[in-house]
Amino acid sequence: MPRLRIDNHTVEVEPGSTILEAARSVAVEIPTMCYLEDQLPRGSCMICAVKVRGASALLPACAARAEDGLAEMRQQVAQAVQDFSAALAGRSQAIARKARSLIPEGAVVVTHSHSGTVEETLLFVGRQDPALQVICSESRPMNEGKVLAARLASAGISVTLVADAALGTVCHEADHGEHAQSECDCSCLAHPLPIWPVPI
């Protein structure tokens, strides 16, 4: 059985266990975002990145296998996570400022799914432009669009939530500035379906 040390805890785990599973077995919390129990680990978000002695880079704890002698340097990881989070926040704010210059006053914006950067951008624009209107699709099966719509509405932004199947029919309502993608216009013409607003 692999034996490793995590935050002054020595733990033995079943062969094939991940560092995340080993940490959780001794109540050491490692944050995750893309990790889902009973699913193959992705390791794509790197929120669970850990420093392992002998490794040349941070490893995703959800995907890296626990092996004898692995040691998590938690303080270094905590600092790396803080630095990464600060850099992300700064990038999101810079994107929001740039996007503000591309979104005309009183614009109608159509969006699908949810992203923290898109949410932050629309909130930023909405604070400066009370006439902003956002059309969100539900984004099933996880309903990310409903989440975005609720957050924008709670900030006082005018939001219409539509069924995913109706998304193609609302593209024509969006403001197509010089930076908009033309694919949206094509999809609207190809899907002449009625719009079904969905209550938030």
pLDDT digit string, tens, across residues 102-112: 888 998 988 88
pTM above 0.75, yes or no: no
CATH number of the structural domain 103-190: 3.40.50.10470
pLDDT digit string, tens, across residues 114-154: 888 889 999 999 999 999 999 999 998 899 999 999 999 99
Looking at beta carbons, which pairs linking 116-119 to residues 24 or more positions away fall under 8 Å? Answer: 116/92, 117/91, 117/92, 118/148, 119/148, 119/151, 119/152
Domain ranges of the chain: 3-81, 103-190
CATH number of the structural domain 3-81: 3.10.20.740
Is the bond leading into 141 cis (omega within 30 degrees of zero)?
yes
Instruction: Give the count of alpha carbons within 13 A of 167, CB side only.
Output: 17
Q: 3-81 with 103-190: one CATH topology?
A: no
